[in-house]
Amino acid sequence: MTLSLNRRTLLQAGAAAVAAPYFWVPARADDGVWFTQTVGPFVEVETSAGRLRGGHDRGALAFKGIPYAGPASGKNRFKAPPKVTPWTGVRDATRLGPPAMQGPGTTYGEHEPAYSEDCLVLNVWTPAVNDGAKRPVMVYCHGGGFTTGSGGQRIQDGARLAATYDVVVVATNHRLGLLGYLYLGDLGGADYATSGNQGILDIIAALGWIKENIATFGGDPGNVMVFGESGGSAKTCAVMGMPAAQGLYHKAGMQSGPMLRGLPKEVATETARRVLAAFDIHPKDFAKLHDVPAQKFIDLQLAAEKGQGPLTVATKEWQAGHPPPKPSLAANRAPKPGGWGPVVDGTVLPHHPFDPAAPALVAGIPLLIGNMRDEAAFFERDHPEFFHMDAASLTARAQQAFGPDAERILATYRQTRPNATPVEQGIAIETALSMGAGTATLADRKAAQSAPVYRYRNDFQSNIPIKGTDWTLRAGHAIDISITFLNTEMPDLQGDGPGLVETAKAVSGYFTSFARSGVPSAAGQPAWPRYDTKDRAVMLLNSQCQVAMDPDGQEREMWQALGV
């Protein structure tokens, strides 16, 4: 399965389709601790919209909460981001700007302001300003699916990476959920032609700001890498599929989030009809959506994520033409109305990002792509019963989720992992279905183009325990964020086990060197060969990295034969 727009852990017994992707949403850390405080001596710079005052953050300069576009509320709701509004005087850029509207407790930057529709701000970390240097620029798209998150998350603070590797790091806030992806193109006409993709267009607007301004911050506008983890990786896929982004970036990175396909217009329009019905608005009066308080959209989302509320109720027209499918792998992968994410509208996103092939417009873009070895340990962490599963339970779960494909899937994993426990087999199956198989398919399709592809699997194991089990998170989803950003001193999912610091040096070294030259390398670690469909070289990231040729190849072939 690709990182579909309605993914939940498919091995959960009785799992129901949800309205949004199930991505990492850690607890908020309002503990008053400053890991990422911006302090004096303060520094001023001039941008195209006005003057900014930033400061110092762990060896680098930091400028936070910089507007890269204008207001996204009111008459601008559901539309492409407007130009930034210039200001007079010196704007303070020492604190984070507002995150996008989302559910409570789902951002994790230190001392962030309240959520806001007018969230189009970015943060910059750099070793120096106005020095004429041309440092590589690493633009990070935060995780949280298309629903939650913030560019101010403290474990992705870019100061340490900037100071250690002489790079410029940028992170954006952008619209999320229904406010970022509600598609009105079939209902609202030309005025809403960009709707359904406004959240990705926000990121592209930030790339435009970077092209115009990043030289002031010591960055090279001709050497920009877009990358992200989880939902941020999926956003990177969408950016790569959009003509509007051409020329604004030059390399791409995807961590645990292959999105091969976007939402079809038909599905997105049905979601819009359900939203209108929820607010008792006739489709002809869709413009009244501008008057609905933003929080009401969030309330709709939160209900849908629990499988409840108006977004889960199909219109009569949809029910008549779309009877409920029988359980099967294909049914689980099919996009369902009631969710949100990038829409294949034929214009802004002309085609599915990486299906049936990589888009021609990114043929010259090098790609760094991979996933965690045990992604699903994170997704199941709130379901301790999963970690006590026996063979009969695994079979029952697979049959419920995959229907007639279950036996082939189980037989493959029994053959390839004969000594694995049912839990370990379940983790491997779910990891492949949610991340690994899609990563391999996307890498295959990108490798067919001219620019190089470098693929990895991150094997570092977190020692964070999973409550109610004897398991730890192992190489689970999202433990690599702090590792990539060299922020391992901050308590988080990566834990504090042996080899952590060495792994962070290796991973951050590979990522920053790729941003600089298009070829990943790290001190004391092996050379990283290009990925192709002949040898399928994969770098296994850890405290001591190693290259493997087509690891889990038999499993990969099985999933690709099933169309995953």
How do strand 50-57 and strand 90-92 relate by DSSP bridges?
parallel
Report the distance separating Cα 143 and Cα 25, nearest Å.
9
Residue 408's pLDDT band, with cuts at 50, 70 and 90, is very high
Name the 3-class secondary structure at 314. coil
Report the distance separating Cα 324 and Cα 425, nearest Å.
29
Question: What is the CA angle 242-248-250, rounded to 5?
Answer: 95
Q: Spell out the residues 6+ positions from residue 336 whose beta carbon is closer than 8 angstroms to its own.
A: 6, 17, 267
472 φ, ψ (degrees, to nearest 5):
-110, 175
Overall average pLDDT of the 161-168 stretch: 98
Report the distance separating Cα 137 and Cα 231, nearest Å.
20
The predicted structure's pLDDT at residue 20 = 31
Residue 1's pLDDT band, with cuts at 50, 70 and 90, is very low
Report the distance separating Cα 337 and Cα 342, nearest Å.
13
pLDDT digit string, tens, across residues 180-221: 999 999 999 899 999 999 999 999 999 999 999 999 999 999
Give yes or no for residue 10 having a pLDDT over 70.
no
Q: Spell out the residues 6+ positions from residue 363 whose beta carbon is closer than 8 angstroms to its own.
A: 449, 450, 451
**Residue labelled with tokens 């990043």:** 214
**Weakest-pLDDT range from 69-78, 246-255, 318-327, 430-439:** 318-327
The pTM (predicted TM-score) of the whole model is 0.94
Q: What residue segments make up the domains of the chain, in order of their start? A: 265-333, 366-561
Report the distance separating Cα 42 and Cα 185, nearest Å.
46
Closest CA to 149 of 181, 196, 112: 112
456 φ, ψ (degrees, to nearest 5):
-135, 165
- What is the average pLDDT score of the chain? 92
Residue 32's pLDDT band, with cuts at 50, 70 and 90, is low
pLDDT digit string, tens, across residues 336-392: 899 999 999 999 999 999 999 999 999 999 999 999 999 999 999 999 999 999 999
Say how many C-beta atoms besides its own lie within 10 A of residue 114's C-beta: 8
Report the distance separating Cα 307 and Cα 514, nearest Å.
41
State the DSSP code for 152: T
CATH code assigned to 366-561? 3.40.50.1820
Q: What percent of the chain has pLDDT over 70?
A: 94
- Burial-class residue 119 by CB neighbours within 10 Å (0-12, 13-18, 19+): buried
537 φ, ψ (degrees, to nearest 5):
-70, 130
Overall average pLDDT of the 225-239 stretch: 98
CB-CB contact of 556 with 550 (8 Å): yes
